[in-house]
Structure 1
Amino acid sequence: MQPSRRAFLLGRRPVQTPWAAFVQRLALVCQGQVRDLGEGGTQGASAILTPARESDVVQARKLCAEYGVVLELEGAAGPFASSARPRLRVDPLLLDGLTRLAGEPSTWRVQPGVRLADLTRAGLRQFADLPGEMTIAQWLAAPAPWSAGRCAASGLVAADVLLADGVEESLGPFGEADVQPLRSATVQRLVPTLFQLASGGDAFATRDGYHWLGRYRLDALKPEAPATVNLAHLLLGHGGTLAWVQAVVLADAPAWAETGPEPETPGLATFRLDGKVKTQFDPDGRFPSFVVQDV
């Protein structure tokens, strides 16, 4: 039978859209659940991935880069800029490993889906007054309340991250006494630029004396003594816009109580600085972006 007659009798296979192909491939490579929310919504094509293993997100990021899909943390605190690009929302609910690490003082390795109530029960006091149903990923993404130079009060020790270009890196203490090297060329390039930004005029204008007015905590690179530089603190308040956080290491810390004056209103320098940080971490927009407010 000739191809044209076969097509007439059997019907032509409908052309698959790029979004449908993306969702199909995502479901094949991930062990977790993929829920397609469709292409016809008011916000465009979107889907939700509930990964069952860390490597699910690694595979999802790779496909997102191939198809031009933005990878978002489900439930992250914005506000986020609108985008015409399709979106994959990742809910880390099943990534809930919580492991106490050897040594003193005690620390915990925490996957992104662990709830704050579980951390409170483990003895981490900084989460006692926060919503118990919030995940550690959502906490890390939320605006960071600590005063300028005081990010160490969060109890965040280290973070394993998946960067926009697919590089996996561990961020933590960074100084002469810290022997863990930066493994990737991406972060080796990134860190000196961030130190330059942290020493510039926009950073000076973003610190009002007591508060850090920016969303991205570049003040982590100029901590108040006796704390030392910790690169993981750059992720505090990041909203899921800089990287995917695979796991964090936490130590116990007292609950933070705000006692200082009211913060100043962020100005143009602050939004400009946040934009520069975003560009350094995510030049191709693999993750969502914050709204740049009018000043």
Structure 2
Amino acid sequence: MPSLSRRAFFTGRRITNDPWENFCQRMRRLVQGSFFNEGRVDGFGHARLSAKTPADAHHALMLCNEYEVVFMLDGLEEEAQQPGSPVLWVDPSIYLKTCQPVPDTDDKWFVQPGCFVAELKQAGLKQFDAFPDYLTVATLLADRVHMNLPTGELGRMGLSHAGVLFADETKAVLGPFGETQQQPLGTLTLQQLAPALFRLAAGDSAKLCAEASHWPGRYRLDALMPADGHEVNLSHLLFGHGGDLCWAEWFVFRAMSEPVEPLPFRGVASNAFDDTVVYAAQDIDLHIKNQFDPCGIFPHPGQAL
């Protein structure tokens, strides 16, 4: 068997025992998009990927799992630092920016995560009129401030479905959930996740949080606790999640006729909630994060809010 050094000579690759260098080498071999190693900060590697295909994000997540690198959505406002960990920022805005009508529908649009809000406005999706043009749809929906919608009224954004990549590298479609919806929970991960979330939504902590006009938690469990006139929709769990829960590969929106105006942001640190509500919200957030991302491959938190 040839030695490692001989194998490296014939393949043209330098053998290294440095995990970060190995991660970067394998990223360059696997992805079609642009990958840039930014070096190290306090000894931990930083890199960026402009994903060219959905498979690029999947390959990146696989390697992030293997090398314990934090997988972060690039472009978030109020981005939180991730001390003590190597980080890969993934940017969908260069290549993954399709925005097109869904065939055989009058009012639905298929949107990739890198599509800019400006393009959605031009397409006639009025719900985006109040939001900044420069944000991608992925960063907008992940933003806690911009997605600070009234409790139980997440349907205002017109989000119908979302295709997501979970931390365990499985894919699923999140969408409406209820007696009138026949779409099965297609993966084992989702089959385990959905019942756990509904049990959480039925608990005392969730009921306490739902009494507030501003949802006090980081993750929008009120997606499963809709107000009158709205429906349960698992894709609404992505609103304001900060990139902490999963990677969104695509969205389907209904074109809405009214602009959405978020409420003034009130996080738990703003003293807008009493201690019992704060503790309830933190309990819910911890459970949701552990259900979606038990190994912590996504940031926690992605936004410093």
Q: Taking structure 2 as the reference length, what is the TM-score of the superposition?
A: 0.86
Cα deviations across residues 56-88 of structure 1 (Å, max 9, x unaligned)? Answer: 001111111111111000022456363312111
Q: Distance in 2 between matches of 1:183 and 1:232?
A: 14
Residue number among 261, 274, 280 corresponding to 2:285 in the alignment: 274
Distance in 2 between residues matched to 1:72 and 1:207, nearest whole Å: 29
Q: Determine the structure 2 residue equivalent to 1:111.
A: 112
Structure showing greater radius of gyration is 1
User: What amino acid is the match of 1:24?
Assistant: Q
1:210 and 1:260 in contact (8 A); partners too: no
Identity in percent: 38
Query: Which amino acid is 1:210 matched to?
Result: S
Structure 1 residues 261 and 26, CA, compared in 2 at 3 Å: closer, same or farther? Answer: closer
Counterpart AA for 1:256: V
Q: Does 1:255 align with 2:259?
A: yes
2:249 match: secondary structure:
strand
2:99 aligned partner: 98
Task: Note the aligned Cα RMSD (angstroms).
Answer: 2.5
Deviations 1:211-252 (A, max 9, x none): 211121101101112222111001111111000000000112
Output the CA distance in 2 between the equivalents of 1:232 and 1:136: 14
Contact 2:38 2:47 in 1 (8 A): yes
Q: How many residues align?
A: 283
Shift of the 195–35 alpha-carbon distance from structure 1 to 2, 3 Å rule, reads same
Q: 1:178 aligns with which of 176, 181, 190?
A: 181
- 1:149-228 alignment runs, 5 A limit: 149-228=152-231
Question: Against the structure 1 CA distance between its residues 222 and 105, is the aligned structure 2 distance closer, same or farther, given a 3 Å change threshold?
Answer: farther
Which secondary structure state, in structure 1, belongs to the residue aligned with residue 199 of structure 2?
helix
- What aligned pairs does 1:279-290 form with structure 2 within 5 A after superposition? 279-290=290-301
* 1:32-51 Cα distance to aligned partner (Å, 9 max, x none): 00000112x24721100001
**AA at the equivalent of 2:64:** C
* Structure 2 gap ranges (5+): 7-13
Residue 9 of structure 2 aligns with which residue? none
- 8 A contact 1:76–1:239 mirrored in 2: yes
Q: Which moved more, 1:139-148 or 1:97-106?
A: 97-106
Quote the offset at 1:108 in angstroms: 0.6
In 1: Cα distance, 2:190 partner to 2:141 partner? 20
Larger deviation, residues 264-273 vs 131-140:
264-273
What is aligned with 1:236?
Answer: 239
Deviations 1:188-210 (A, max 9, x none): 00111101111112212323432
Task: Label 1:50 to 1:220 Cα distance change in 2 as closer, same or farther (>3 A).
Answer: same
Deviates more, 1:234-243 or 1:43-52: 43-52
Q: Which amino acid aligns with 2:103?
A: A
Q: C-alpha separation between the residues in 2 aligned to 1:255 and 1:242?
A: 27
Distance in 2 (CA, whole Å) between partners of 1:212 and 1:123 is: 29
Secondary structure at 2:150 match in 1: coil
1:71-150 equivalent positions in 2, closer than 5 A:
71-77=71-77, 80=80, 82-93=82-93, 94-143=95-144, 144-150=147-153
- What is aligned with 1:32? 33
Q: Deviations over 1:114-152 (max 9, x none)?
A: 000000000001111211111001011101221111010
Distance in 2 (alpha carbons) for counterparts of 1:91 and 1:43? 23
Most deviating of 203-212 and 76-85: 76-85
**SS of residue in 1 equivalent to 2:100:** strand
The answer on whether the counterparts of 1:77 and 1:141 sit within 8 Å (CA) in structure 2 is no
Q: Partner amino acid for 2:210?
A: R
CA distance in 1, matches of 2:115, 2:202: 35
